[in-house]
Amino acid sequence: MLTPEATLIGTVTVFAVVYLGMFLGGLPRTGLDRSGVAVLGAIAMMAVQGWSVQQAAAAIDLPTLALLFAFMLLSAQMRLGGFYGAVTLAVGRRPWPPAALMGALLLVVAALSAVFSNDVVCLAVTPVVVRVAWRRGWDPVPWLVAVACAANIGSAATLIGNPQNMLIGSVLKLPFVTYAAAALPPVLLALAALWGWMVWVLRRTPPRAAPPVAALDDAPPYDRWQSGKGLAVAAALLVVFAVTEVPHELAALLAAGVLLLSRRLHSAQFMGLVDWPLLLLFMGLFVVNAGLQRTGLAAQAVQWLAAQGLGLQEPGVLALVALGLSNLVSNVPAVMLLLPHVQGVEAGVTLALASTYAGNLLLVGSIANLIVADLAARDGVRLDWRHHARIGMPAAVLSLLTWWLWRWAVAWLG
C-alpha cells in the first residue's frame, strides 16, 4: 500500500503521461496510440490507487458507453446500406454552380452528422466528394475540408451527433429537445458562415487537372431496404428521445437490437464497423480522470481560476478553456476533464459547441478531419495540416464568432 504522498505523486504522473499521449496521439517509441495510452493509464491508475476491478469499473459511465455503442451500430446499418454515399452522389450529380453545390453538400453532411456519427459520415462521403470534384475539374481540397468542418459543426446540433455530446448529455442529464432547441440556431448560423467562407475560398481556388478517376468499387452499393430500415429506426428513436422519458441508452440499445435482427446482414458486419478503440479510450479516460478527481487538484485549479475572475460558470470562459484544451488533448478528453465542474443546460450547450467547433481549428483536432485526410491520400489528394489550417482555422473562428453573436442577440432581445 502506497503512502498518501506516493499515491498523489503516482496519480499526477499517470495523469500527465496519459494526457501527453492524448496530445501527441500516442507515446513516442512505443506502439501505443491514444486508446492504448488510455487503457495502460487506467491499469496504472488502478495500481497507484489500490483499486479493485470493481472499484475501477465504478468510475466508468456505462450509459454513455451504451449509447455510443448503439449509435455505432445504427451508423453501421446506414453505411452497409450505402445510404451515405448514395445521398452524396445524388447531390454531386446536380448541374449546379459551385456555390449552390457547396451549400447543398454542407447541409447534407451536417444533417447526417447530427443524427449519425460524424466520423462514419466522413468515412462514407469523402471518396464520393473526391471523385465528384475531379470529374468537374475542381481542386478537391476545399471540398474535403468543407466536408470535415460541416460534419463537426452539424454534429453539435444534437446530443447524439458525436461522442463528446453523448457524454455531455449523459453526465449532465440534459433533455434531448431542450438541448437541440438551444444548439440548433447557433449551429445553423455557423453553417451559414462556413458556406460564405467556402464560397470565397472556391472563387480563389484555380482549377486542377484530374488524374484518372476510379469508380466507387469499394463503396457499399445502395440498398433501398436496408437504408429505409435504418432511417425508420433512427426516426423512431428520435421520437422516443423527444416525447418520452425512457433512458436514451436503453432506447438506443433496443433500436440497435432491432437492426441486428437481419436476414441479409450478418452481425459480424455490424460489429466490424464498431469503433472499439474509441470505446476503450472512453473507459480508460474515465478511470484516469477518476483518479485525478480523487486528489482534489482539479477542483483546486477550478477554484483558483474562479478567484482570478475566470469561473467556468461564465460561458465565455468555459468556451475559451474548452477550445484550448480540445486542441491540446482532443475534444473527448477535454470534455471529460471539464464536465465535473459544470452543470446546467447553458453550460452543457456551451461545452458541446466550443469543444466541437474546436475540432475545425487544426487537422489533429478531430478524428473526422483525420479520416478525411487519410481517405483523400488514398485517392492521390494531399491534405496536410497546412492545407487544413488555411481553411479550417477561419472556419473555427467564424463558428465561435457566430455563437457569440447569437448569445449577444438573445441577451439583447431578452
Q: What is the pLDDT of residue 219?
A: 59
User: H helices of 136-247, where?
Assistant: 140-155, 163-172, 176-203, 224-243
Instruction: Write down the pLDDT at residue 2.
Output: 78
Q: What count of other Cβ atoms lies within 10 Å of the Cβ of residue 225?
A: 10
Between 259 and 92, the more confident residue is 259
How far apart (Å, rounded) are the C-alpha atoms in residues 251 and 269?
Answer: 22
The answer to whether residues 358 and 352 touch, using CB atoms and an 8 Å cutoff, is: no
What are the Cα distances from residue 263, in Å, to 126, 198, 225, 364? 29, 44, 12, 39
What's the rounded Cα separation, in Å, for the pair 331 and 60? 18
Tens digit of pLDDT for each residue in 348-393? 999 999 999 988 988 877 778 888 888 888 777 888 888 888 999 9
- pLDDT at residue 192 greater than cutoff 80: yes
Low-confidence winner among 55-59, 82-86, 171-175, 224-228 (lowest mean pLDDT): 82-86
Q: What is the mean pLDDT of the chain?
A: 87
Taking residues 274-287, report their average pLDDT.
88
Span 12-23, mean pLDDT?
Answer: 88
CA distances from 376 to 21, 98, 144, 145, 384 (A): 26, 20, 8, 10, 10
Burial of 214 (0-12, 13-18, 19+ CB in 10 A): middle
Q: What is the pLDDT of residue 45?
A: 94
* Domain range for 117: 4-413
Over residues 210-237, the mean pLDDT reads: 76
Q: What is the pLDDT of residue 80?
A: 86
Q: Which of 14-28, 138-152, 202-216 has the highest mean pLDDT?
A: 138-152
Whether 109 contacts 147, CB under 8 Å: yes
Number of structural domains found in the chain: 1
Residue 236 and residue 410: Cα distance in Å, rounded? 32
Most confident of 115-119, 152-156, 337-341, 407-411: 152-156
Cell of 167: 457524454
Task: Kindly report the backbone phi and psi dihedral angles of residue 26, in degrees, each rounded to the nearest multiple of 5, phi listed first.
Answer: 155, -175
